[in-house]
Structure 1
Amino acid sequence: MAMRRVPPACAGATPQASQDMARSVADAMIEASFIPLPPTTKRDGMVDEALLRRKRGMIALSLSERSRRFSMRDGFRAFDADTHVNPAANVLDRYVDPSFRPRLADLTPYRVPSGKMIGGTPDTDQYRVDTKFYPRVLGESGPHETFTGRGTNWRGTKQPRVGVQDDLALNRVMDMDDEGTDTHFLVPTLWVSVVGLPDVELEIGLTRAWHRHAAEFCGQAPGRLKTAIVVSTRAVDEAVRQIKEWGTSKWAVAVLPAVGKDIPIDHPDLEPIWQAAQEHDLAVVHHSNTWNPPYFPGYRDLWDNIFLGRLASHPWGGMRFMAAFIGAGILDRYPSLRMGVLECGFGWLPFWAKRMDEQAVYVGGTAPLKHAPSEYMTSGRFFCTIERHEGEEMFKYVTSVLGNDVLMYASDYPHSECQFPNSVDNVLKWSSVDKETRRKLLWDNAARFYKAT
């Protein structure tokens, strides 16, 4: 049946009113059979409520996007270059290959309750492998009786809506409208820890499921939700197949290598991945981890303390990744490839640039390079997200050294470190930053990195 044209009734309304009206129109359209329910929403003659909710959300999103104006803040669009999505185990299970379904039993030991995960869905499980605890408090001789080093303190003023990490794309877009964010880049989180399992087939099976889920989730708001093709560094042929299968999809704007502890990112066996990424105009991104594989370098050397671990984990991981990527000459061999580090801090960039230049000459150990390491950082092909807490003065210093084409706005939504729903507004308070640099920070640099322009 052809879909009847629906007037853009929510044009000109507030974002919240627009979404509510779009949902009401979607309900009416389903009820009036303007949009017939697909076969997948019926089981034994009964409507499957979960699938119906997803169908309703897809319709509402389509209507909302058609009538939506960009929700600028002070005249700026905002591209959040580092947000997170963490689909529950039952969500990923829907998308696995039929041939892989019997292997789900092998993942049962790694299904753990989601608990009170911010932006998650109650009473669900997550796939999580080898969670590391940091039970010692500094100044104490051994593990603390009640301290696990797993807790975080919520830094925002309002909780994200339910299901934004699972499969409720509508709720995520509503949160984006509340915060004034136009586009999210989504970083998959806990399930990627399957890279720590000896059986690479389990990693491959969940990775394929992730890509199908990402296509459906981001496809509900294709102009606003972007994410990465996750690739296994233990199965390079499969990684290249996944890039070729999904690389032209609107949602796929980057390649995220799942790097095992025994495979350096500069290993020559990984060259086909970089070749495929360049051919599909996909950025290569690194995002460090604290509690689960792939662990950060030196994770066993922090004296079982989370304060030391969280201080070191993300910057240390970013430093090693970008130094190896640049020092191996990968950017020389693939001259249009872009690479970046997410949630690793940014104040260390000038120091690291100078130190890389010196050590490349002093001790060597790099591939023959066409440029000094620091010059790749200012070539327009290296990018890094900001951390709000490092602040305005640090941002101004880094841009004075590296220029204003490197740093990208990021909030870490919906993790506790974000300041939802005020993350964009808090960065806009950096009043001493000139308008052009703020525009590049909030939109232009991420849009260029993630090929949105």
Structure 2
Amino acid sequence: MNAPVEVLDGSANSRVGIVDCDIHPYPKPGALNAYLSERWRNHLATYGKFNTGAYADRGTYPRFSPNTSRRDAWPPGGGLPGSDVGFIRDQLLDPYNIAYGVLEPLLGGNTSRNLDEAATLCGAINDWQAHEFVDPEPRLRASILVPADDPDASITEIEKRAGDWRFAQIQLGSKTSEPLGRRRYWPIFAAAQANNLSIGLHIGGTQSSAPSASGWPQFYIEDHHGLVHSMQNQAASLILEGVFDAFPGLRVVLIEGGFAWAPQLAWRLDSHWAKMRDEAPLKRKPSEYMKTNLWFATQPVEEPERPDDLRQVFEWIGWDRMVYSSDYPHWDFDDPHLAFKFQLTEDEKRMLYRDNALSVYTFE
């Protein structure tokens, strides 16, 4: 293994831990039952989860690789990758000197068509994260999963968890019933701002229609790349529909959707808005909101032929807008030793690996 990434404290020049903003936990068989009432255990056993996807109780089309995970991430004691806290500690937290790791559960609890079921599953998943991951390993921090199509239930869940040190953010998906800028979702943003919680916008979510504008793709690589476009759509919606004018303190982290597209999107939106600003009467140019209200997680980091081209992307976005993420235990995990092919200064390392995340997330 390579030497640990050296992130130095500016004053004492001592090595400190890094923050990983994208770790995926998975349950051991039956683990969620402990956090469900008898009524809902019976409901799920009888009816299953009423997914918004094209298929029930399976991955979307095309099929994912087994649990989308690295082959070496399966715990030696059994269970799914990401289900064994001790193995996460041994394989990720300790060897990579992770000070904090933000959990991003991808269990579909927020995607049920049955809104009562969605709210119940979100609550159970939140309890499960807190009790089975954060309590035994405080370096891990949970995300508040909410049923976005039910703002009232979402607010109830947010207020239940706000102030609990075990929760670092509110988690939403990039695929939603409508673009997130629509006012049906604004109560969630109001609750986030009021409780000083950031929004972690992770790729995925509801699948009520074909994943691309031109229909169903044939290959996994097409479907996988299409996730990037869902993130661009949400960034444009949040900006153009006035979310950040209404909630200027709102912090949104775009997770696992890439980031090299950000300059191009900003330039195009600025150009279009200059000609059509009467339709979207924002207080500032679209690009300015990208530099005050949006942060970008690095995984999957783009890999241009000339590594310094990526440095230019970082510099346009701003070194203070980037946070490191690994996507553990998935197959496209980004090792902090190897993800960036250009040399980083000590200031850039501190911002990327630690300081930016500490300013965005609620860890205390």
Is TM more than 0.5 here? yes
**Deviation (angstroms), 1:401:** 1.2
CA 1:87–1:393 in 2, change beyond 3 Å: closer, same or farther?
farther
Q: Which amino acid aligns with 1:252?
A: F
Structure 2 counterpart of 1:319: 232
Give the AA of the match of 1:293: Q
The verdict on how the C-alpha distance between 1:106 and 1:256 changes in structure 2, with shifts beyond 3 A counting, is: farther
Deviation at 1:81, TM superposition (A): 1.0
Return the alpha-carbon distance in structure 2 between the equivalents of residues 167 and 158 of structure 1: 13
| Corresponding residue number in structure 2 for 1:266 | 181
Q: After alignment, is 208-217 or 390-399 more displaced?
A: 390-399
Equivalent residue number for residue 125 of structure 2: 210
SS of the residue aligned with 2:319?
Answer: coil
Identity %: 21
Partner of 2:86: 170
Instruction: Work out the CA distance in 1 between the residues paired with 2:277 and 2:196.
Output: 31
Deviation at 1:368, TM superposition (A): 2.3
Does the CA contact (< 8 Å) of 1:85 and 1:187 recur in 2? yes
Q: Structure 1's 305 and 441: CA in aligned 2 closer, same or farther, altered over 3 A?
A: same
The superposition leaves residues 172-217 of structure 1 with CA deviations (integer Å, 9 ceiling, x where unpaired) of 222211233222111111333x61x432222122111111112202
Secondary structure (helix, strand or coil) at the match of 1:405 reads helix
Look up the match of 1:189.
106
Distance in 1 of aligned mates of 2:139 and 2:283: 37
Which piece of structure 1 moves more, 328-337 or 292-301? 292-301
Q: Provide structure 1 residue ranges, at least 5 long, that are not aligned to the other structure.
A: 1-70, 112-126, 135-148
Matched, 1:73 2:31: no
Are 2:27 and 1:87 equivalent residues in the alignment?
yes
Note the aligned Cα RMSD (angstroms): 3.1
Task: Tell me the distance in 2 between the aligned counterparts of 1:283 and 1:433.
Answer: 27
Match of 2:9 in 1: none
Using the alignment, how far apart are the partners of 1:91 and 1:295 within structure 2? 31
Query: 2 CA distance for matches of 1:326 and 1:320?
Result: 10
Offset of residue 231 of structure 1: 1.3
The amino acid that maps onto 2:59 is T
Cα distance in 2 for partners of 1:109, 1:334 equals 34
Shift of 1:130: 6.0
Please give the alpha-carbon distance, in whole angstroms, between the structure 1 residues aligned to 2:56 and 2:140: 24
Distance 1:260 1:210, change over 3 A: same
Residue equivalent to 2:10 = none
Q: C-alpha distance in 2, partners of 1:220/1:72? A: 26
Aligned ranges 1:41-60 → 2 under 5 Å:
none
The residue aligned with 1:132 is 60
Residue 234 of structure 1 aligns with an amino acid whose one-letter code is D
Please say if 1:447 is aligned against 2:358.
yes
Do structure 1's residue 343 and structure 2's residue 343 form an aligned pair?
A: no
Residues 85-94 or 272-281, more deviating: 85-94
Partner of 1:123: none
The question of 1:298 aligning with 2:209 is answered: no
User: Are the structure 2 counterparts of residues 128 and 437 from structure 1 closer, same or farther at C-alpha, using a change threshold of 3 Å?
Assistant: farther
In the aligned structure 2, how far is the partner of 1:364 from the partner of 1:298? 28
Between the two structures, name the one with larger relative contact order (CA 8 Å, sep ≥ 6): 2
SS at match of 2:170: strand
**Alpha-carbon distance in structure 2 between the residues aligned to 1:264 and 1:153:** 28
Give the distance between the partners of 1:166 and 1:387, measured in 2 at CA: 17
CA distance in 2, matches of 1:83, 1:189: 10
1:424 aligns with 2:352: no
Alpha-carbon spacing, 1:96–1:321, altered in 2? closer, same or farther (3 Å): same
Change (3 A) 1:437 1:340: same
Per-residue CA distance 1:318-367 (angstroms, 9 max, x = gap):
10111111112111211211012100011111111111111223345864
Change (3 A) 1:258 1:129: farther
Structure 1 residues 269, 448: closer, same or farther in 2, change over 3 A?
Answer: same
**SS state at 2:338 partner:** helix
The residue that corresponds to 1:307 in the other structure is: 221
Pairwise CA distance, 1:232: 1.3
2:329 pairs with 1:414: yes
Task: Compare 344-353 and 164-173 and name the one that shifted more.
Answer: 164-173
Deviations 1:364-404 (A, max 9, x none): 5864211111111112x310111355144343111221221
Distance in 2 of aligned mates of 1:88 and 1:294: 28
Residues 309, 164 of structure 1: alpha-carbon distance in 2 compared, 3 angstrom cutoff = closer
By how many angstroms is 1:98 displaced? 4.2
- Cα gap change, 1:153 to 1:248, in 2 (>3 Å): closer
In 1, the alpha carbon distance for the partners of 2:240 and 2:145 equals: 23
Alignment partner, residue 369 of structure 1: 282
What is the rounded CA distance, in whole Å, between the counterparts of 1:401 and 1:258 in structure 2? 26
Asked if 1 retains the 8 angstrom alpha-carbon contact of 2:73 and 2:82, the reply is no
Partner SS for 1:288: strand
* 1:226-245 equivalences in 2 (<5 Å): 226-245=141-160
Change (3 A) 1:151 1:366: farther
Q: CA deviation at 1:236?
A: 1.2
Q: CA deviation at 1:157?
A: 8.6
Contact 2:257–2:300 (CA<8 Å) still a contact in 1?
no
Q: 1:348 to 1:259 in 2, by over 3 A?
A: closer
The structure number with the bigger radius of gyration is: 1
